[in-house]
Structure 1
Amino acid sequence: MAKDDVNSAVERYISSGRSEMDVERKEHYFKMALQIQPKNIRALNNMGLLLQQKGEFREAIRYYEIILDPGIVTKPSPIYYNIAVCLKRLGNLEGAKTYINRALAKRPDEEIFLELKEEILDLLNGTPSAVLPHPTPKASDIGAPYGEWDPPAIATLASQLYYSGWNDYKYHRGLGETDLNEKIVRDKLANRIYCCQTCKFNSGGTCRKKGKVGKKVLLDSICKHFFPRKTD
């Protein structure tokens, strides 16, 4: 089979696997691609992500480690991140810390990497953020208009806007497959296009988010619950 024909066949298997809804058939297509090209980065990454979603973390790591063989991939930080996630789920927090630090060494400002490191450090310190006490609002803050700039994470917005949910977002994130959508979100935040003024919960300068009904907002502010209207 000619090289071009081989590449086309592999891409067809990968595409079929990604569009397939049945997990077993997805795995079958990715394995077919890897039978033809055992070191195809996209096939390895998709197989790793699929196994990670299935909770088969050790097997997922095995595929990710192949991608990290010298010379195969030039941007390894997403792979370091995925391995860190798997190791965290396996309870190997020191290993997870090592890999997330490697990811951050390549992309030190990546929010999703920073969030995972914080989670790992909380677990290592025995104080997971999920159980940390929330500060009680001061009496002087009650009834005051919301005017802070505290947007959701880029990854959170991208997963909500362009994917069917967090797992779908992580599945496609792999080797930078979500970069364009993340850039769109980042640019809109930087230009204050995404702000309370364009939030679907805003109604005449008042927040209609559950639990915040009636709260006045400054239109150039933003909070963690921001979600743009469909027209924005």
Structure 2
Amino acid sequence: MIYGAMKFSLGGSLKIAFRPWVEGLENVPARGPAILASNHLSFSDSFFLPAVLDRKVTFIAKAEYFTAPGIKGKLTAAFFKGVGQLPVDRSGGRGAGEAAIRAGIQVVESGGLFGIYPEGTRSPDGRLYRGKPGGLARVALATGAPVIPVAMIDTEKIQPPGQVVPKLMRPGIRIGEPLDFSRYQGMDGDRFILRSVTDEVMYEIMKLSGQEYVDIYATAAKRQIAEEAKRKAEEAKKKGTERSGG
């Protein structure tokens, strides 16, 4: 009931305000389990995709979104619950990852749509990064559910990292044909198969999105960008000190 009301109000508002275009909507099954594997450009990705679907799609969200104190915290928790987000404590390293995988398997085995970002985090520069094999592939191989590749288009221009108020422009969503990995079901302990499945999905996302592919993890790219920014700041500070004669 809460999800339906939230989807009607939020989804309707998003579609009216941003008018997202969609290709391949027929590739999402009307019923039954499936995994939606998407690139990740913006915080708003988890809202635009559900807004254009007739079915509920469940994403994993940080538990902190559901436990923040005060009125703002309660409103945030209600919002995330209302749009189908599933709270998982991701602060505990490997244990957190296992919790997310179990949650995804539970959603799929109950016949639902499970949404996941194989890159593990938002792209820092709009390019597509290497998928992490621990989540997507393990849920797919544990359940035998089809994997549907999804490409979000231009959402990073609407709400770049750190920008609170989104820019009104038209994003796009391309949904590819389902990928069947049921032949590998039960082989989720084989790291070579996990890597192969993940790479196949990322290749399909790349074709749908048109993004440049980078064969490193997005988390590593973010560290490199942060380190480079720090280095440049230190150089600028040093030059400023030298000019002032300090």
Q: Same fold (TM over 0.5)?
A: no
Select the structure that is richer in strand.
2
TM-score, length-normalised on structure 1?
A: 0.29
Which protein shows a greater Rg?
1
Select the structure that is richer in helix.
1
TM-score, length-normalised on structure 2?
A: 0.28
Which has the higher relative contact order, 1 or 2, with Cα contacts under 8 A spaced 6 or more apart?
A: 2
